[in-house]
Amino acid sequence: MQLHLSDEQRLLCDEARDFLARHCSPADVLRWQREGVVRPADLWKRMADLGWLGLGISEADGGLGADFFDLALLHQACGRALVPTLFAATTGAALAIAAGGSAAQRGRYLPAIARGDTTATLAVAEPDAVYDLDRMAAALTRREGGYVLAGRKALIEGGGDADLLVVAARSPGAGPARGGLALVVVPRATAGVRVTRVATFGDHPAADLELADVAIDAEAVLDAARDARATLDDVLLRRTVLACAEMVGGLERVLELTAEYVKGREQFGRPIGSFQAVQHALADMATALEGARYATYQAAWRLARQLPAAREVAVAKAWTSPAYKQATLTAHQLHGGMGFVTEYPLHLYSNHAKACEARFGAADRHLEIVAAALGL
């Protein structure tokens, strides 16, 4: 795996951190959350102008064609700054369209996403099948001149605001339990798509979808001639790694905030950072961060090189989710009452950690994957 960043990658990280420090401050994030803004217009345009919305899209499809590892580094910077989740959601949907779409489909959707004109999200999870593709109930059935899409989707990131929904469903003639899946691009405003916004922990935008016999044009089905299972499996792995990268960025900032605070807060005539118990707590946080960072980097590096990575992705998610949440709990303990002041940014990271914990499967699910890979 890649242990050290190249000069170009370090430059990407530095520029992203500097840009977000100026245009996505904690005060901005808090204001957007209070106002219900999920795509700040000025920030979104600036990100599009920098090419970030097309970083993972090939040059032929209107993007920059960057390495997937570089995309993970950008998401790490976005997690550090708590960039609104519609950016990550749009990136995941773009990956699905890029992987499963024909040249015409890619040309129809991806340049608009790269320009910042269109937002999108993946709609995979269901009330009775969160990320278990074998139990998916939403179905795409043939009808004269096209298809009909019916079913329900649950807790879709930005689903109430994204322009496009990339919906996973069982395809016509689905036979084996692991076969017959399709990916369908559906505009949110399509007749029969009913969106219910869902209140989530930390005000992260999500929505439940009801697909009531939605008429689907044949051109909206990605790679209709093949089962989309392999494409969807790969996209979910990539989206999980990007979520881990976000958590690494958030954990990094939590550690910095806490280290800064304990150096300045005094008790018994000395900074509390001079006490051994506090130092050990910070050392545990730093150790957890490095584990999360390199587990995530390994998974991203393997995916960037098209190597098998299911175990590495599971390791990254199983480690990073609990590490991030525990770091915020420790940070609150060390900050005392200051950690609960809403104008202070720590609570934003605590909410983010909790929201990320179950996203793309909780740690237990990924531990099961690791155990299975060990033959247990």
C-alpha count within 13 angstroms, C-beta hemisphere, residue 228: 29
CATH 3.40.50.1000 correct for 7-119: no
Range scoring the smallest mean pLDDT among 101-115, 128-142, 225-239, 242-256: 128-142
Section 69-88 average pLDDT: 95
pLDDT of amino acid 204: 79
pTM of the shown model: 0.94
Per-residue pLDDT band at 176 (split at 50, 70, 90): very low
pLDDT of amino acid 289: 98
For the chain, the distance separating the N- and C-terminal CA atoms, rounded to the nearest angstrom, is 26
Same CATH topology for 7-119 and 122-224: the answer is no
For residue 173, pLDDT over 70 is answered with no
pLDDT of amino acid 85: 83
Per-residue pLDDT band at 178 (split at 50, 70, 90): very low
CATH 1.20.1440.230 correct for 230-373: no
The residue extents of the domains of the chain are 7-119, 122-224, 230-373
More confidently predicted of 219 and 281: 281
Section 346-351 average pLDDT: 95
pLDDT of amino acid 145: 79
pLDDT of amino acid 172: 63
Q: What percent of the chain has pLDDT over 70?
A: 97
pLDDT of amino acid 174: 42
Give the 3-state secondary structure of the chain.
CCCCCCHHHHHHHHHHHHHHHHHCCHHHHHHHHHHCCCCCHHHHHHHHHHCHHHCCCCHHHCCCCCCHHHHHHHHHHHHHHCCCCHHHHHHHHHHHHHHHCCHHHHHHHHHHHHHCCCCEEEECCECCECCCHHHCCCEEEEECCEEEEEEEEEEEECCCCCCEEEEEEECCCCCCCCCCEEEEEEECCCCCEEEEEECCHHHCCEEEEEEEEEEEEHHHEECCCCCCHHHHHHHHHHHHHHHHHHHHHHHHHHHHHHHHHHHHCEECCEEHHHCHHHHHHHHHHHHHHHHHHHHHHHHHHHHHCCCCCHHHHHHHHHHHHHHHHHHHHHHHHHHHHHHHCCCCCHHHHHHHHHHHHHCCCCHHHHHHHHHHHCCC
For residue 254, pLDDT over 90 is answered with yes
Tell me how far apart the alpha carbons of residues 281 and 336 are, in angstroms, rounded to a whole number: 14
pLDDT of amino acid 1: 74
Per-residue pLDDT band at 149 (split at 50, 70, 90): very high
Tokens of 194: 């009913």
For residue 80, pLDDT over 80 is answered with yes
Range scoring the smallest mean pLDDT among 15-19, 63-67, 94-98, 174-178: 174-178
Tell me how far apart the alpha carbons of residues 204 and 312 are, in angstroms, rounded to a whole number: 27
Per-residue pLDDT band at 138 (split at 50, 70, 90): very high
In DSSP terms, 197 is beta-bridged to: 207
Q: Which residues contact 97 (CB under 8 A, 6 or more apart)?
A: 105, 106, 109, 110, 113, 120, 166, 185, 222
Tell me how far apart the alpha carbons of residues 174 and 181 are, in angstroms, rounded to a whole number: 7
Q: Is residue 331 within 8 Å of 250, Cβ to Cβ?
A: no
For residue 46, pLDDT over 90 is answered with yes
Q: What is the CATH number of domain 122-224?
A: 2.40.110.10
Q: Which residues contact 341 (CB under 8 A, 6 or more apart)?
A: 347
Tell me how far apart the alpha carbons of residues 129 and 106 are, in angstroms, rounded to a whole number: 29
